[in-house]
């Protein structure tokens, strides 16, 4: 086990690091000066013209990082993604890390950025965690421009006969603000619009964010924006953004944001950070444009998806990869001693105590995720992400277990050691990609009926015995199918803590039935959301928000962010 070289905080490590000018990083990737634009000294936006210029260049391999069902603190998936990218570069493979953009709102609530950790971070982490290059602000603006156009349409005569009780488009802010979850707008008399119930979602839950991440071009973006269903009219027919003539303006508002953002890791590995949709009501992956462009610019792209493999990897493999024409080379499943012990029944505050029997009891959770990836036909590697208090016997147990199961695995110590701590993992991934067959294909065909798609995911990915549809869901499946949306993929909204829809069922639950409460149509994004319970699309702030500690130092530096 490598010695822990540091107990510095993320921001201390970040502020001590030496970034290269972004022109240097762009140069490393062979990008001409005309094909990127600087945003400050250490951020750049990449031109979409690069796709045409690189048309004949072979695409590099996409490696997806996912995890077992996580603890509330997370398994360090972003940290492993960054560290693995750094490791590949160290062993001579030109590699780009492709991550999601962090949402600013939540950082007002709970400390902790979303830019990796320790010696595996992307930089400049303060800016990435604050406004970055403004992409999320552009999405907020587009979301709310559409909302204003809807209410204005009704106020100005309602030629489309929109039923104000059936507006499904919500307003959005990149903020944790529970008071905006349920509101009434349009009060104050005939000059102030038409009163109706409404609500705000956090911006990353906006369908526009999902579209932003699934569009393959500006043209595709506009076409998807046009298809978004914003309301139903008095005859229950859907009204789209296109019906309102809004898609041109929304595309204009998003045009510059659609250019992927180039930054670097602590070890100067190029990183592209672009888009970041929710992993429950959306698919939880960075943009297709960023992933594809990264694959054109490097041998290997290391990217991640949200939550555990039952949600994130499933959606990556069934939705993103399908729409993007991406064939992943391998999937890395991040496991931690702590999370496996939790699945073995250990309470949260005792996870640091050596407990091999509990660890053993937790292994079926990992086993199920590996089984799922086998069904997708994609080679898998287990990464044991090392935490400071892990006992070597525990780490060894997981590695031995993998060996006995015929699954390749490696320890990752990237938090403490950066890329050096991920070299063994990187070599293992390369080895797996060379030695194992890759028969990746989505788990279902698009012409499968919606209820069958949902059953397929619940039974084959979650291990459920059956699925129970509420009367509302049954009606919606009929309605959506008759509207021609039956051939869309399904996006499951489920707890990330369990393979089942009950967050308390840890390990590998069996004989459970998944209850589908309700469906939502994200026709522009191109999926039907199936909700298994309440999904919070606008978080709240805690009793003592992290904002209380934020500040700017006398020297003008960010403080209290992480």
Catalytically active residues are: 77, 79, 100, 111, 279, 307, 387, 415
- For a second copy (CB under 8 A), the number of binding residues is 76
Among the listed residues 180, 290, 382, 528, the single contact to a second copy using CB under 8 A? 180
Written as six digits, the tokens of 494 are 């489920």
User: Does the protein bind a second copy through residue 552 (CB under 8 A)?
Assistant: yes
Q: Which of 281, 297, 233 is nearest to 93 (CA)?
A: 297
Residue numbers 449-468 binding a second copy by CB under 8 A: none
Q: State the Cα angle at 480 between 276 and 226, rounded to 5°.
A: 50
Which run of H or of E encompasses 415?
A: helix 414-417
Residue numbers 48-87 binding a second copy by CB under 8 A: 48
| Minimum gap (Å) between residue 45 Cβ and a second copy | 8
Q: What does the DSSP 8-state code read for residue 285?
A: B
Whole-number Å distance between alpha carbons of 412 and 384: 6
Give the strands of the sheet with 162-167, arranged side by side.
162-167, 229-233, 238-240
266 alpha carbon, distance to own chain's centre: 22
Segment interacting with a second copy (CB under 8 A) among 175-183, 311-319, 482-490, 492-500: 175-183
| Minimum gap (Å) between residue 494 Cβ and a second copy | 21
| DSSP code string of 295-323 | HHHSSEEEEEBSSSIIIIIHHIIIIIHHH
Among the listed residues 99, 104, 215, 395, the single contact to a second copy using CB under 8 A? 104
> How much is the CA Rg of the chain, to the nearest whole Å?
23
User: Does the protein bind a second copy through residue 393 (CB under 8 A)?
Assistant: no
Half-sphere exposure of 168 (CA within 13 A, CB side): 18
Residues in the chain: 562
User: Does the protein bind a second copy through residue 202 (CB under 8 A)?
Assistant: no
Segment interacting with a second copy (CB under 8 A) among 186-194, 367-375, 422-430, 444-452: 186-194
User: Does the protein bind a second copy through residue 372 (CB under 8 A)?
Assistant: no
Residue numbers 154-173 binding a second copy by CB under 8 A: 155-157, 171, 173
Burial of residue 388 (CB within 10 Å: 0-12, 13-18, 19+) is exposed
Q: Which is nearer to a second copy, 37 or 299 (CB)?
A: 37
Name the binding residues: 71-78
Among the listed residues 19, 91, 160, 183, the single contact to a second copy using CB under 8 A? 183
Among the listed residues 96, 175, 450, 525, the single contact to a second copy using CB under 8 A? 175
Q: What does the DSSP 8-state code read for residue 210?
A: H
| Minimum gap (Å) between residue 181 Cβ and a second copy | 5
User: Does the protein bind a second copy through residue 112 (CB under 8 A)?
Assistant: no
User: Does the protein bind a second copy through residue 206 (CB under 8 A)?
Assistant: no
Residue numbers 122-141 binding a second copy by CB under 8 A: 127, 130-131, 134, 137-138, 140-141
Written as six digits, the tokens of 543 are 């009793």
Among the listed residues 178, 327, 374, 403, the single contact to a second copy using CB under 8 A? 178
Among the listed residues 68, 253, 293, 378, the single contact to a second copy using CB under 8 A? 253
| DSSP code string of 446-505 | TTS-HHHHHHHIIIIIS--SEEEE-HHHHHHHHHHHHTT-TTS-EEEE--SSSSSS-TT-
| Minimum gap (Å) between residue 240 Cβ and a second copy | 15
Q: What does the DSSP 8-state code read for residue 133?
A: T
Q: Which residues contact 22 (CB under 8 A, 6 or more apart)?
A: 36, 38, 41, 42, 43, 44, 262, 263, 264
Confirm if 335 and 309 have CB atoms less than 8 A apart: no
Whole-number Å distance between alpha carbons of 511 and 412: 34
Q: Which residues contact 534 (CB under 8 A, 6 or more apart)?
A: none
Among the listed residues 10, 75, 101, 151, the single contact to a second copy using CB under 8 A? 151
Q: Which is nearer to a second copy, 133 or 269 (CB)?
A: 133
Q: Which of 179, 186, 151, 183 is nearest to 167 (CA)?
A: 151
Q: Which residues contact 110 (CB under 8 A, 6 or more apart)?
A: 542, 546
User: Does the protein bind a second copy through residue 513 (CB under 8 A)?
Assistant: no
Q: Which is nearer to a second copy, 188 or 347 (CB)?
A: 188
| Minimum gap (Å) between residue 183 Cβ and a second copy | 5
Residue numbers 321-350 binding a second copy by CB under 8 A: none
Residue numbers 256-295 binding a second copy by CB under 8 A: 256
Written as six digits, the tokens of 352 are 């640091």
Residue numbers 6-45 binding a second copy by CB under 8 A: 37-41, 45
| Minimum gap (Å) between residue 11 Cβ and a second copy | 12
Q: Which residues contact 123 (CB under 8 A, 6 or more apart)?
A: 14, 17, 19, 42, 115, 263, 264, 265, 266
| Minimum gap (Å) between residue 126 Cβ and a second copy | 9
| Minimum gap (Å) between residue 398 Cβ and a second copy | 39
Residue numbers 516-545 binding a second copy by CB under 8 A: 540-543, 545
| Minimum gap (Å) between residue 82 Cβ and a second copy | 24
Confirm if 196 and 186 have CB atoms less than 8 A apart: yes
Q: Which is nearer to a second copy, 73 or 252 (CB)?
A: 252
Among the listed residues 185, 356, 515, 535, the single contact to a second copy using CB under 8 A? 185
Name the binding residues for ATP: 71-78
Among the listed residues 222, 224, 274, 494, the single contact to a second copy using CB under 8 A? 222
Q: Which is nearer to a second copy, 130 or 399 (CB)?
A: 130
Q: Which is nearer to a second copy, 525 or 558 (CB)?
A: 558
Q: Which is nearer to a second copy, 108 or 273 (CB)?
A: 108
Q: Which is nearer to a second copy, 399 or 559 (CB)?
A: 559
Q: What torsion, rounded to 10 degrees, do the Cα atoms 524, 530, 533, 539 define? A: -20
């Amino acid at each position: 086990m490598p010695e822990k070289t540091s107990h510095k905080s993320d921001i201390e490590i970040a502020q001590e690091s030496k970034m290269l000018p972004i022109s240097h990083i762009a140069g490393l990737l062979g990008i001409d000066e005309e094909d990127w634009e600087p945003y400050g000294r250490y951020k750049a936006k990449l031109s979409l013209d690069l796709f045409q210029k690189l048309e004949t260049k072979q695409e590099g391999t996409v490696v997806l990082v996912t995890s077992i069902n996580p603890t509330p603190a997370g398994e360090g998936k972003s940290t492993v993604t960054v560290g693995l990218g750094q490791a590949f570069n160290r062993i001579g493979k030109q590699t780009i890390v492709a991550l999601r953009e962090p949402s600013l709102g939540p950082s007002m609530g709970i400390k902790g950025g979303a830019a990796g950790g320790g010696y595996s971070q992307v930089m400049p982490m303060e800016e990435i965690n604050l406004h970055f290059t403004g992409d999320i602000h552009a999405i907020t603006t587009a979301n709310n421009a559409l909302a204003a156009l809807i209410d204005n349409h009704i106020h100005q005569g309602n030629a489309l006969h929109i039923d104000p009780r059936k507006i499904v488009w919500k307003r959005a802010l990149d903020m944790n603000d529970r008071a905006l979850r349920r509101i009434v707008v349009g009060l104050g008399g005939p000059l102030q619009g038409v009163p109706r119930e409404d609500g705000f979602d956090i911006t990353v839950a906006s369908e526009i964010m999902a579209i932003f991440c699934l569009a393959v071009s500006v043209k595709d973006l506009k076409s998807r924006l046009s298809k978004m269903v914003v309301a139903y009219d008095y005859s229950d027919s859907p009204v789209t953004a296109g019906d309102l003539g809004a898609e041109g303006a929304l595309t204009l508002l998003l045009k510059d944001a659609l250019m992927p953002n180039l930054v670097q890791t602590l070890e100067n590995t190029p990183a592209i950070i672009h888009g970041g949709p929710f992993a429950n009501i959306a698919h939880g992956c960075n943009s297709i444009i960023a992933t594809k462009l990264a694959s054109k610019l490097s041998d290997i792209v290391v990217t991640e998806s949200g939550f555990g493999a039952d949600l994130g990897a499933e959606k990556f493999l069934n939705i993103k990869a399908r729409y993007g024409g991406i064939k992943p080379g391998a999937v890395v499943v991040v496991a931690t001693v702590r999370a496996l012990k939790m699945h073995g029944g250990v309470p949260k505050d005792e996870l640091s105590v050596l407990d091999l029997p509990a660890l053993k009891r937790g292994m079926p959770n990992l086993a199920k995720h590996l089984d799922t990836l086998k069904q997708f036909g994609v080679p898998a590697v287990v990464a044991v992400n090392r935490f400071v208090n892990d006992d070597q016997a525990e780490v060894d147990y997981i590695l031995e277990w993998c060996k006995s199961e015929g699954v390749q695995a490696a320890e990752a110590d990237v938090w403490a050691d950066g890329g050096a701590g991920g070299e063994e993992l990187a070599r293992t991934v390369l080895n797996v990609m060379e030695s194992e067959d890759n028969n990746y294909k989505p788990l279902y065909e698009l012409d499968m009926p919606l209820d069958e798609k949902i059953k397929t995911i619940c039974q084959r990915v979650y291990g459920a015995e059956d699925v129970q549809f509420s009367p509302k869901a049954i009606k919606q499946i009929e309605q959506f199918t008759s509207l021609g949306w039956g051939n869309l993929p399904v996006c499951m909204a489920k707890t990330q803590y369990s393979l089942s829809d009950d967050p308390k069922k840890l390990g590998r639950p069996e004989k459970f039935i998944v209850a589908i409460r309700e469906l939502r149509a994200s026709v522009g994004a191109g999926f039907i959301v199936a909700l298994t319970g309440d999904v919070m699309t606008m978080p709240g702030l805690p009793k003592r928000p992290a904002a209380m500690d934020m500040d700017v130092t006398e020297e003008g530096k960010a403080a209290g962010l992480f």
